Amino acid sequence: MSNKLHELADKIGILTKFRDAGLVAKDYEVNDDVIAFLAGKLGYKADDNASIVESINKFNDRRWHKVLNGIYVVKPRNVVFDIVLPKSAANEILTVSIANVDTKASPTIRYEVESLKEEKRINGNDYVKLFVRINSDLDIGYYDLYVNAGSEIYSSRLAVAPDRCYESEVVNNSKLWGVAVQLYSLKSKRNWGVGDLTDLETLIDICGSNGASVIGLNPLNVLFHDYPENASPYSSISRLFSNPIYIDAEKVPEFLPEDKTEIEDKLKKYRDSETILYSYVYPTKMAVLEKAYKRFKDSANKERKLDFSKYLLEKGSELDKLAIFQCLYEEKSKVIWGGWRAWEEEYKNPHSPKVAEYVKENQDRIGFFKFLQFEFDRQLNGVHGKIKEKNLAVGLYRDLAVGVGGDSAELWGDSGTFIEGAGAGAPPDAFFPAGQKWGLGAFNPFRLEDAGYEPFIKILRANMKFSGALRIDHVMSLMRLYIIPDHKELGTYVLYNLDEMMAVVMIESHLNKCMIVGESIGNVPDGFLDKLGNANIKSLSVLWAERYGAGWGDFIPPDKYPVDSYVSVGTHDMAPLKMWWFGYDIELSYNLGLIPNEQEKNNSYHKRENDRWKLLSALDYAGVWPRDNMRSGNYIYGEKYPEGIEEAVHRFMSRTNSKVFLAQLEDILQVEKLQNLPGTDRDKHPNWRRKIPVDLEDLEDSAMFVRNIKAIKMER
């Protein structure tokens, strides 16, 4: 069975072997049962030799079973698409027309049916494939395509893509800097125990006053209403909508001062807590927002209600599905364990008569969930206004998660578009030697293409809103994703149509005037980074990864960093500078069993000691130590923390060739604890719960902030 199974896998894009990105790379042969399982989930049965042969034939003939593809991704100077017709109809006159999806304009076009054609007999019938070339100039964007053949009209979509992603002239001609933060971690004297959109406006004020041009954010997508402790921003229930925990309740027009008076003692407790108390903060905020929603419904404010109606019309069925899902989940989770897949059959389909009946009976609660998104959007618009006021050249640099939670509104609302019974993860690499089983919903590449990439387009647009740049988490997912069956610990890569996925990103980048950054830490295929560069997708470089010798050698000097990149010291998954220096992350990993034994722990400490020497040498060679705080020793283990090392590191990174440098507040403020420790849940480590140690109101008075910003501005 193996040879034929591997032939099928090669055709449909399932890797039968791969190499990981560990410090000592390891090759893997994928088990046949994993290949067969994933093939079946992609629509090609592989239970035995007979079904495999049938699936191979099905794949070979797939184009001949439909008149038009779901979408044609083309370049403005090469608009060609194919049509499959019965041979008897091949000589009929064809007429072609298009309409711009966004503007609705229907330009007159010149086209020709090319002489090149193909023929094939399918099930005793003869078919011919014709090729049509549009010779008119088309603007970048999407067009509904209509082909009239005889008495039949067929439709598809043209996606006309540029050669490269959008580039801001300011970024192209400058070396900019900014800060990267987890929005929830912002601490202030006025918030309700979690960073919110008003805190973000305050940070914009601070950044603008100090010459920063960009603020990098964690994903802001909506999480579980009923389980606020499930706080990972990378495992949302929908990447189309936002997390209402970030709403500033006091800025909601229907908020009344007495709403806060009743809970002031609670809010002080939430603010004083070292970590975010999601189980208390979220319900408290929701209770106040429920009061505001009731007042909104009862109010005579026609303008605000009209704005709400316009918002509902704009968001349409996608918002309907989210709000219905949240309402259903709130009810079902009280009596059914196991998520939406454990619900009664009639509730698993958002289009079922039973769900329609449920919607009629629960209009008010569904309306509340819609109101939350409406208010978030209004406050985010205020953030955008603040960015323009402070003239931040890039503004928000948002983060698009690689997948969506397996038990999510996205999968409930459109389950057929995702690979069922499996989730996205990562094989072992240099930073995560045990690999990662994220369990995130991943697009079925064939279903995605059949849908004209519409689900992907919607997600891009939602996260590009008010963004000057968008970071695509695990950008290799445009080409391939490591998919692990739910019942397995190891999986394999499933391939996507890289050219078409990248073309869609290019189109959206231009339409939204949003630059694209690709996070490519991990297992990167050969030649992939060149493709990103050619598409003007900026790379993401971090100090800890920019080493010679695959992580063992010297730190590369600033002038060797790629120009077209966004750089930082680390990421939310990596130890902040002070924690890294003392090796607290090593001890933490050992105590939690992520480092298996004493010998491995000692090896890690020896390597870290060597890495510290290499970092000191790189900083010495670059001459970036502050003049009033030069290096005064070798700082072997047991000695004090090197004063001024943050300034030296930030000046080192600011000196790089790279277009944008993002400083992390955790590094500036000498935080010694991790935001997220991959491979652990909150029972072992308080992931996604750390607050920065300084209130925003006091940030500009902090000597650490002042000195580090001065160091950055010496080079940028």
Helix, coil or strand: residue 62: helix
Q: pLDDT of 307-317, one tens digit each? A: 999 999 999 99
Q: What's the helix, strand, coil split of the chain in %, to 5?
A: 40, 20, 40
Please classify residue 467 by burial: count the beta carbons closer than 10 Å to its beta carbon, then call 0-12 exposed, 13-18 middle and 19+ buried. Answer: buried
- How far apart CA 281 and CA 341 sit, in angstroms, is 29
**Vertex 219: Cα angle to 589 and 286 (nearest 5):** 100
Residue 327: alpha-carbon gap to chain centroid: 25
- How far apart CA 495 and CA 443 sit, in angstroms, is 11
State residue 660's pLDDT score. Answer: 97
State residue 321's pLDDT score. Answer: 98
Query: What does the chain come to in residues?
Result: 716
State residue 433's pLDDT score. Answer: 66
Mean pLDDT of 266-286: 98
Q: Read off the amino acid at residue 50.
A: A
Using 50, 70 and 90 to split pLDDT, how confident is the model at 409? very high
pTM: 0.94
Total Cβ atoms within 10 A of residue 691: 22
State residue 342's pLDDT score. Answer: 96
Q: Per-residue pLDDT for 638 more than 80?
A: no
State residue 45's pLDDT score. Answer: 97
CA atoms within 13 A on the CB side of 95: 7
- How far apart CA 481 and CA 440 sit, in angstroms, is 11
Mean pLDDT of 47-76: 95
State residue 431's pLDDT score. Answer: 60
Which residues are 152's β-sheet partners? 149
**Whose CA is closest to 680, among 403, 436, 441?**
436
Name residue, tokens 């069993």.
593
Q: Which two tokens stand for residue 698?
A: 């006091």
CA of 417: how far to CAs of 166, 420, 701, in Å? 28, 9, 51
CA atoms within 13 A on the CB side of 381: 8
State residue 552's pLDDT score. Answer: 82
59: Cβ–Cβ under 8 A, 6 or more apart, which residues? 8, 11, 12, 44
State residue 250's pLDDT score. Answer: 98
Check: CB of residue 10 under 8 Å from CB of residue 25: no
- How far apart CA 272 and CA 695 sit, in angstroms, is 11
State residue 432's pLDDT score. Answer: 67
Q: Per-residue pLDDT for 350 more than 90?
A: yes
Using 50, 70 and 90 to split pLDDT, how confident is the model at 430? low
Mean pLDDT of 177-184: 98
Helix locations, 300-393, DSSP H? 302-332, 353-361, 363-390
Check: CB of residue 205 under 8 Å from CB of residue 386: yes
Mean pLDDT of 478-497: 95
Q: Which two tokens stand for residue 402?
A: 């690689």
Mean pLDDT of 608-636: 91
- How far apart CA 320 and CA 216 sit, in angstroms, is 30
Using 50, 70 and 90 to split pLDDT, how confident is the model at 640? confident
Q: Which two tokens stand for residue 280?
A: 């208390």
Check: CB of residue 90 under 8 Å from CB of residue 130: yes
State residue 181's pLDDT score. Answer: 97
State residue 38's pLDDT score. Answer: 98
Q: Per-residue pLDDT for 231 more than 80?
A: yes
Q: pLDDT of 338-349, one tens digit each? A: 999 999 999 999
Mean pLDDT of 54-60: 96
Q: pLDDT of 493-535, one tens digit each? A: 999 999 999 999 999 999 999 999 999 877 889 999 999 999 9
Which residues are 143's β-sheet partners? 100, 158
- How far apart CA 218 and CA 236 sit, in angstroms, is 12
> Could you tell me what percent of the chain has a pLDDT over 70?
98
**Phi, psi (degrees; rounded to nearest 5) at 86:** -55, 145
Check: CB of residue 608 under 8 Å from CB of residue 583: yes
Q: Read off the amino acid at residue 293.
A: Y
Rg of the chain, C-alpha, whole Å: 27
Which residues are 181's β-sheet partners? 217
Q: Start-end ranges of CATH 2.60.40 in the chain?
A: 76-160
Q: Where are the beta strands (DSSP E) in 329-448?
A: 395-400, 404-405, 422-426, 436-441
Using 50, 70 and 90 to split pLDDT, how confident is the model at 123? confident
Question: Is 2.60.40 the CATH number for 76-160?
Answer: yes
Mean pLDDT of 565-573: 95
State residue 249's pLDDT score. Answer: 98
| Sheet containing strand 480-485, strands side by side | 404-405, 436-441, 422-426, 480-485, 492-495
CA of 565: how far to CAs of 13, 22, 503, 536, 608, in Å? 30, 24, 20, 10, 26
State residue 1's pLDDT score. Answer: 59
Average pLDDT in the chain: 94
Cα diameter, the chain: 87
Mean pLDDT of 293-300: 96
> Could you tell me what percent of the chain has a pLDDT over 90?
87
Q: Which two tokens stand for residue 481?
A: 């994703």
Mean pLDDT of 165-188: 95
Mean pLDDT of 677-683: 87
State residue 88's pLDDT score. Answer: 85
Q: Per-residue pLDDT for 323 more than 90?
A: yes
State residue 434's pLDDT score. Answer: 67
- How far apart CA 580 and CA 609 sit, in angstroms, is 10
**Phi, psi (degrees; rounded to nearest 5) at 345:** -55, -40
Using 50, 70 and 90 to split pLDDT, how confident is the model at 151? confident
557: Cβ–Cβ under 8 A, 6 or more apart, which residues? 618, 621, 622
State residue 559's pLDDT score. Answer: 96
State residue 116's pLDDT score. Answer: 80
Q: Which two tokens stand for residue 64?
A: 């001949």
